């Protein structure tokens, strides 16, 4: 009986430790100063709409020709901002969002959506070599931030697409109140840092 009690206590202790590690990880993630700004669109009505059954079916239909069994990562849902080549916001393309997926055969990608009144419309479905997302590349991003002049207290992060003559650049953009900015391009071979401390 004593042995049984000891075993149960040990299992409980191990589970408790595991839960503690999970909680610590979640807290650390929330303490990242840019997480809240990057994923702030999850408070928008577009996100609530996307999680309805009818739109889940549409998501799968929008990628059916190219991927099998996509798993949609709703935690990656974010605003998708189109920038001109000078990094100013292109007002023509407003109310855009994106959501990533993982599919069979290690396929990755995302869908760009537009909110139109009480509906969502597909703008484009894109396949990628890895997840084009903040948390999925957080170690690289933190290293880039550590070497930058970004003021974390006033900074915000956003997912952007920069209009280019040949092909738009997919990127993560971080700016602060002092005009510093940092761009991390999502290239096929992995995230690549492009940074500048000059005001926009």
Most confident of 74-78, 119-123, 150-154: 74-78
How many Cα atoms sit within 13 Å of 92 on the Cβ side? 4
Q: Indicate the SS3 state at residue 146.
A: helix
Buried/exposed 117-135: b ≥16 CB within 10 Å, e otherwise:
eeebeebebbebebbbbbe
The two structure tokens encoding residue 195 = 């940074």
Q: Is the pLDDT of residue 161 over 60?
A: yes
pLDDT score at 57: 87
pLDDT digits (tens, 9 = 90+) for 90-129: 988 889 999 999 999 889 999 999 998 888 999 999 999 9
**Contact call for residues 67 and 127 (beta carbons, < 8 A):** yes
Q: Is the pLDDT of residue 185 over 50?
A: yes
Q: Compute the average pLDDT of residues 171-191.
A: 94
pLDDT score at 194: 84
Q: Is the pLDDT of residue 175 over 70?
A: yes
Q: Compute the average pLDDT of residues 177-186.
A: 93
- pLDDT band, very low/low/confident/very high, at 53 (cuts 50, 70, 90): confident
pLDDT score at 31: 53
Indicate left, alpha or beta for 85 from its phi (over 0: left) and psi (-120 to 50: alpha).
alpha
Q: Is the pLDDT of residue 23 over 70?
A: no
Distance in angstroms (rounded) separating the CA atoms of residues 68 and 170: 24
- pLDDT band, very low/low/confident/very high, at 158 (cuts 50, 70, 90): very high
Domain boundaries in the chain? 1-31, 35-196
**In the chain, pLDDT over 70 holds for what percent of residues?**
82
Q: Is the pLDDT of residue 63 over 70?
A: yes
């Amino acid at each position: 009986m004593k042995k049984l009690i000891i075993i149960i206590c040990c299992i409980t202790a191990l589970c408790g430790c595991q839960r503690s590690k999970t909680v610590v990880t979640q807290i650390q993630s929330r303490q990242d100063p840019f997480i809240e700004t990057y994923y702030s669109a999850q408070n928008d009505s577009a996100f609530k709409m996307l999680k309805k059954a009818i739109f889940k079916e549409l998501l799968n239909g929008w990628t059916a020709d190219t991927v099998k069994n996509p798993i949609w990562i709703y935690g990656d849902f974010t605003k998708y901002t189109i920038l001109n080549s000078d990094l100013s916001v292109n007002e023509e393309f407003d109310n855009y969002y994106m959501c990533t997926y993982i599919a069979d055969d290690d396929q990755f990608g995302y869908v760009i959506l537009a909110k139109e009144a009480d509906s969502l419309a597909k703008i484009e479905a894109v396949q990628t070599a890895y997840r084009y997302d903040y948390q999925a590349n957080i170690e690289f991003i933190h290293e880039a931030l550590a070497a930058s002049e970004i003021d974390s207290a006033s900074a915000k992060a956003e997912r952007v697409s920069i209009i280019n003559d040949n092909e738009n650049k997919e990127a993560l953009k971080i700016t602060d109140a002092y005009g510093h900015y940092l761009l991390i391009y999502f290239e096929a071979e992995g995230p690549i840092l492009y940074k500048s401390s000059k005001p926009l």
